[in-house]
């Protein structure tokens, strides 16, 4: 990865990836997110690879195997700004996933959602992009298997505050 990353502008990872694959370390404790540790990891990546314009990290609080809190952060290194999602009243407020069907594919859905948002006019701002990515991956927790079957309207409904899980047709 050290050989590939000089050619990359967007790095998507979690704290384990950054530690095990790239050797970036921080002192984490189970179930308690310390945002300065995550932002520190994102900044370590940018310091090591100055070509990175964005670093995205998923934020999972594992309360149990079927109950997590889920969110993400995006470092925009050009603007030197960090964005968290989801937010409520301007503060980080993770999704409460209390009936996880399957965690497999959530990271892929996060990556796909972020790539879509950063390249779509509607969700292109860093705050909107990270919010879209987290919403897409949140919905991926609700279906079995590695494929996120959520469509754009379902992701946008979650972004708009529809957390009741009602199917909209």
166 part of a folded domain: no
- The total domain count for the chain is 1
168 part of a folded domain: no
Decide: 98 and 64 in contact? Cβ < 8 Å.
Answer: no
pLDDT tier for residue 169 given thresholds of 50, 70 and 90:
very low
Domain that holds residue 25: 5-159
139 part of a folded domain: yes
Average pLDDT in the 146-169 region?
79
Please give the pLDDT value at position 79.
97
What digits encode the pLDDT tens for the residues 41-86?
999 999 999 999 999 999 999 899 999 999 999 999 999 999 999 9
Query: Which runs of consecutive H residues, i.e. helices, occur in the chain?
Result: 15-20, 35-48, 106-119, 126-140, 152-159
Question: What spatial distance separates the first Cα and last Cα of the chain, rounded to whole Å?
Answer: 43
Does the pLDDT of residue 135 top 50, yes or no? yes
Does the pLDDT of residue 111 top 60, yes or no? yes
Q: How far apart are CA 162 and CA 168, in angstroms?
A: 10
Please give the pLDDT value at position 130.
98
What digits encode the pLDDT tens for the residues 34-43?
778 899 999 9
143 part of a folded domain: yes
pTM, to two decimals: 0.91
113 part of a folded domain: yes
Q: Which domain CATH number covers 23?
A: 3.40.1190.20
Decide: 130 and 83 in contact? Cβ < 8 Å.
Answer: yes
What digits encode the pLDDT tens for the residues 9-39?
999 999 888 989 999 877 655 556 677 889 9
């Amino acid at each position: 990865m050290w050989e590939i990353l000089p050619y990359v502008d967007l790095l998507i990872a979690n704290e384990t990836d950054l530690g095990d694959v790239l050797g970036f370390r921080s002192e984490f404790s189970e179930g308690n997110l310390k945002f300065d540790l995550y932002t520190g990891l994102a900044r370590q990546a940018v310091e090591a690879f100055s070509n990175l314009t964005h670093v995205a990290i998923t934020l999972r609080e594992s309360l149990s195997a079927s109950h997590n809190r889920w969110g993400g952060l995006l470092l925009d290194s050009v603007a030197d700004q960090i964005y968290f999602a989801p937010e409520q009243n301007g503060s980080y407020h993770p999704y409460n996933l209390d009936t996880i069907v399957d965690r497999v594919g959530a990271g892929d859905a996060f990556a796909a959602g972020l790539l879509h948002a950063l390249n779509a006019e509607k969700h292109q701002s860093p705050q909107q992009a990270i919010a879209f990515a987290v919403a897409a991956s949140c919905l991926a927790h609700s279906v079995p298997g590695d494929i996120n079957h959520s469509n754009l309207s379902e992701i946008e409904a979650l972004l708009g505050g529809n957390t009741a899980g009602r199917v909209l047709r």
